[in-house]
Amino acid sequence: MKTIKSIIVTASLATAALGLTGCAGMSQQDRNTAIGAGAGAVIGGAVSGGSALGTVGGAAVGGVIGNQVKTTH
């Protein structure tokens, strides 16, 4: 049961983050933040065995890292 719950939480957060990346009005920094949060949620959930705290913590750390990534065009 815990595995199903962790899959649902992880998939939901990843879907939300990917949905945000499709917004046309977002800056590159906003997109990087959303992508980082989505990736962090997936990794945090996987590393913590699907715990909600690990998933949310991963999303927070990933979002901060994504926000700080500088891209050059």
- Domain range list for the chain: 2-11+27-68
**CB contact at 8 A, 10 and 19:** no
Distance of alpha carbon 13 from alpha carbon 42, whole angstroms: 8
CA 61 to chain centre: 9
Q: Tell me which residue has tokens 């990346």.
A: 21
pLDDT value at residue 1: 52
pLDDT value at residue 41: 87
pLDDT value at residue 2: 62
pTM of the model: 0.66
- One digit per residue, the tens of pLDDT, for the chain of length 73 reads 567 777 777 777 777 766 665 666 778 888 888 889 888 988 888 888 878 888 889 999 999 999 998 777 6
Q: Count of CB atoms within 10 A of residue 27's CB?
A: 8
